[in-house]
Structure 1
Amino acid sequence: MSHNHRDKPHVTPFAARMKLAGANVWLDEWEIQPGDTIVGKVNQALDLVDTVLLFWSKNAAESTWVNTEMETALTRKLSDSSVRIIPMRLDDAPLPPLLRPLMYVSLEDGADVDDAVRRILGIGSQEELIKAMQRTIWEAGMEFRDFRGMGTMIGCPKCGAPASALDGTQVVDNERDHLYMIVKCTKCGWQDGCETW
């Protein structure tokens, strides 16, 4: 997942969806630990992966780092034709000349992210993608709880207590005629809520 750090709000959720669909994903923030050499870890990854997703944007076009990763991936592809490089367009920045012959995937505003994941992983339909994601959740063997409006939670985002330590309460605001879900951690007291419908 080659990208400029300013594009992380687009890249990280996409990487998470790929991982949930069963892909083995290498993302810097997940793989590089304190004390690791950044250059060493990225170099190691670029030497091992079979597919490089190059998230291209105005930010990436101005990034020496992204351009270096692109050059490294292209050099590797010259010696190993099985390596795939997939340009992932985040905006209207023109692709570099060496990437233009490659089929790209658009993640520009309004793009269907699930469709992009399916195309990259060769999954034929939305239903097959959902089944793949569900298998990943089952294989994790973790406890999950669903709170209407808040979504699925595996634990407290503040203290890390398991889902069994979370309590959900629905509250009605009669003046506004709104229903709210409040989720509270019985261990640390963290709570959050949102309007449900």
Structure 2
Amino acid sequence: MLKPLEKIKMSPKVFVSHASEDKERFVLNFAKQLRANGIDAWLDKWEMLPGDSLVTKIFEEGIKDAQAVIVVLSKNSVGKPWVQHELDAACVKRINTGSKLIPVVIDDCEVSEVLKATLWERIQDTSAYQPNLERIISSIFGVSDKPALGDPPKYVEHLGTSIAGHNKLDSLIYKMACEFALKAGSRHINASAFLKDGELLVPESKLRESIEILGEQKIFELQHFLGGEFPSISLTSYGFEIYARDYVENYSEIFRSVAFAITNKKLRSLSQIKNELKFNSFLIEHVLRMLASQNSISVSWVLGGDCLINRVSPSLERSLN
């Protein structure tokens, strides 16, 4: 029976460019730390033997095969011709292959112009740099400590198009209130209008904020109470009218039918019009309120919720003839 193949561990190869003067004080230990963390750090001390060609070993073997080049920048290295040549080769490689080029600054020194558009890792203390090392390792392996994306809030899936320039969250609250009014047959909105499966669809803080904003914009009339309770909410005629024009099917025909019942059929009460037209009672009441606000009719509201039409304007009569 064949044994399963042993998993091959792939370690990224990294070329460490530096000045020889920095080897003992920083580079050697730094490269050891990289190797201890699964990174195949290429260092001349370990890779080159007497008789080797500097050009072949460094440029054809070291830099050419590296997935990343770390350039250790110090007062010693910034003026070294070899370090500059290695940097030039690393820049070309980054352009051609997309390999990483990581500047590690260990002194207060002048940084080459070609690296000024690259994010550096500055090490203040060459004897204690664990956080710096961890960021460098993360960069080489291409990992991030960015938190994973969670599920979006439940209410997001219910966000639709905006209503009359309101943002999508305010529009959602606005729409839920109007739908509640149509179903309940009342302009007075209670907290159940904003429930979904028995729970508030929107976090309470956001719901309260949207209610207050819609109140400021005359979509809602609000009455506030002591003790932090939800305010009493009433949907204004203005607020429902904006919603109805875009979301109530055949609203213009309903509006005209109510007006026609008043002018041509001479119906003079809300109850009579409801019996005649069989439309949603809240819609009929809303149309009467809108006609009254336009001075097309004058009305009196009586106990029991009925509305008596006292006068019809000549302009409304003429508009429907």
TM-score interval for Structure 1 and Structure 2 normalised by the shorter chain: 0.5 to 0.7
Match of 1:3 in 2: 18
Work out the percentage of aligned pairs sharing the same amino acid: 27
Which amino acid in the other structure matches residue 27 of structure 2? Answer: V
Assess if the C-alpha contact under 8 Å between 2:71 and 2:104 holds in 1: yes
Which residues of 2 match residues 169-184 of structure 1 at below 5 A? none
Match of 2:32 in 1: 16
CA distance in 1, matches of 2:89, 2:113: 15
Which residues of 2 match residues 1-197 of structure 1 at below 5 A? 1-9=16-24, 10-44=26-60, 45-81=62-98, 83-109=99-125, 112-122=128-138
Extract unaligned runs of 5+ from structure 1. 126-197
SS of match in other structure, 2:64: helix
Instruction: State the Cα distance separating 1:34 from its structure 2 match.
Output: 2.1
Match of 2:205 in 1: none
Q: CA RMSD in A?
A: 1.8
Instruction: State the Cα distance separating 1:110 from its structure 2 match.
Output: 6.0
TM-score by length of 2: 0.37
Assess if the C-alpha contact under 8 Å between 1:73 and 1:85 holds in 2: yes
Instruction: State the Cα distance separating 1:113 from its structure 2 match.
Output: 2.0
CA distance in 2, matches of 1:108, 1:88: 11
CA distance in 2, matches of 1:106, 1:112: 12
Distance 1:110 1:35, change over 3 A: closer
CA distance in 1, matches of 2:124, 2:17: 17
Distance 1:80 1:110, change over 3 A: closer
Assess if the C-alpha contact under 8 Å between 1:118 and 1:124 holds in 2: no
Assess if the C-alpha contact under 8 Å between 2:105 and 2:122 holds in 1: yes
CA distance in 1, matches of 2:30, 2:110: 21
Structure holding more helix per residue = 2
Runs of 4+, deviation exceeding 6 Å: none
CA distance in 2, matches of 1:121, 1:61: 23
Assess if the C-alpha contact under 8 Å between 2:73 and 2:111 holds in 1: yes
Instruction: State the Cα distance separating 1:124 from its structure 2 match.
Output: 7.2
TM-score by length of 1: 0.59
- TM-superposition CA deviations, 1:47-97 (whole Å, max 9, x none): 11011000001111110000010011101111112x100000010102111
SS of match in other structure, 1:13: helix
Structure holding more strand per residue = 1
Assess if the C-alpha contact under 8 Å between 1:56 and 1:88 holds in 2: yes
Query: How many residues are aligned here?
Result: 124
